[in-house]
Amino acid sequence: MLPWLLVATLPLTVLADVDKTHGVAPGLLSRYAPTGDKWTCLDGIQVIPWRFVNDDSCDCSDGSDEPGTGACPNTTFYCKNEGHIGASISSSRVRDGLCEPQCCDGTDERPGVCKNTCAEVGALYRKKRDEENKIRKTGSKIRTTYIAFAQKEKKRLEALIESTTQEIEVKEKEVSRLKDIADRLESLSEAALNYKKESQLYISLLDYSDTLRALQNEHKKQLEKQKALGDILDALRTGYNPNYQDMAVLEAVRGWEQIAGLPHINDVGKEDSTTEGENGEEGEAENAEDDELTPEEIETSVNRLLRVDHESLLIAHDEHINAQMDDASHMSSVLPKYEELKDTFVSWMQTLGLVHRDVDPAGETSRARQEFHDAENSLKRAQEDKKSAEKDLKELFDPRHFGSRGQWKKLDGLCLQKEHGDYTYELCFFQEAKQIPKSGSTFSLGKFASWKPSSEADQPDFYETQIYNRGARCWNGPERNVILLLSCGTENALLTVTELEKCEYQFTATTPALCLPLKDSNDNRDREEL
pLDDT in tens, 465-475: 999 999 999 88
3 state DSSP class of 274 = helix
For β-strands 481-488 and 47-49, DSSP reports them as: unpaired
Across residues 333-347, what is the average pLDDT?
Answer: 56
Name the pairing type of β-strands 504-511 and 481-488.
parallel
Question: Looking at 15-29, 77-91, 104-118, 158-172, which range is the least confident one?
Answer: 15-29
Distance CA 269, CA 245 (A): 19
CB 496 within 8 A of CB 507: yes
Strand partners, 485: 465, 508
Chain centroid offset of residue 457 CA: 24
| Residue 94 and residue 108 in contact, taking contact as beta carbons nearer than 8 Å | yes
Q: How far apart are CA 470 and CA 123, in angstroms?
A: 47
CA 76 to chain centre: 53
Give the whole-angstrom CA distance, residue 105 versus residue 140.
35
All residues at 6 or more sequence positions from 253 whose CB lies less than 8 Å from its CB, including other chains: 233, 236, 237, 240, 265
Over the stretch 266-288, which tens digit does the pLDDT of each residue have? 666 544 544 444 444 444 444 44
Angle between helices 118-196 and 334-352 (to 10 degrees): 150
Task: Tell me what pLDDT residue 324 has.
Answer: 45
Q: What pLDDT digit, counting tens, does each position of 380-400 carry? A: 999 999 999 999 999 999 999
Residue 484 and residue 497 in contact, taking contact as beta carbons nearer than 8 Å: no
> What is the pLDDT averaged over residues 78-89?
94
Kind plus residue range of the DSSP H or E element containing 349: helix 334-352
Angle value at C-alpha 454, between 448 and 459, nearest 5 degrees:
85
The CA–CA distances, whole Å, from 246 to 241, 311, 386 equal 9, 61, 99
Question: What is the Cα–Cα distance from 164 to 365, expressed in whole angstroms?
Answer: 30
Bridge partner residues of 425 (DSSP) = 418, 435
Is 385:394 a contact under the CB 8 Å cutoff?
no
**Alpha-carbon span 171 to 181, nearest angstrom:** 15
Sign of CA dihedral 387, 388, 394, 399: positive
Identify the pLDDT of residue 350.
58
- Closest to 214 in 3D by CA, of 302, 85, 120: 302
Rounded Cα–Cα distance for residues 29 and 291 (Å): 127
CA quadruple 182, 187, 188, 194: dihedral sign: positive
Mean pLDDT, the chain, rounded, equals: 80
The pLDDT, as a whole number, for residue 297 is 72
The band of 315, judged by pLDDT with boundaries at 50, 70 and 90, is low
Ranges 165-169, 227-231, 248-252, 382-386: which has the least confidence:
248-252
Torsion of the alpha carbons at 75, 81, 85 and 91, rounded to the nearest 10:
-10
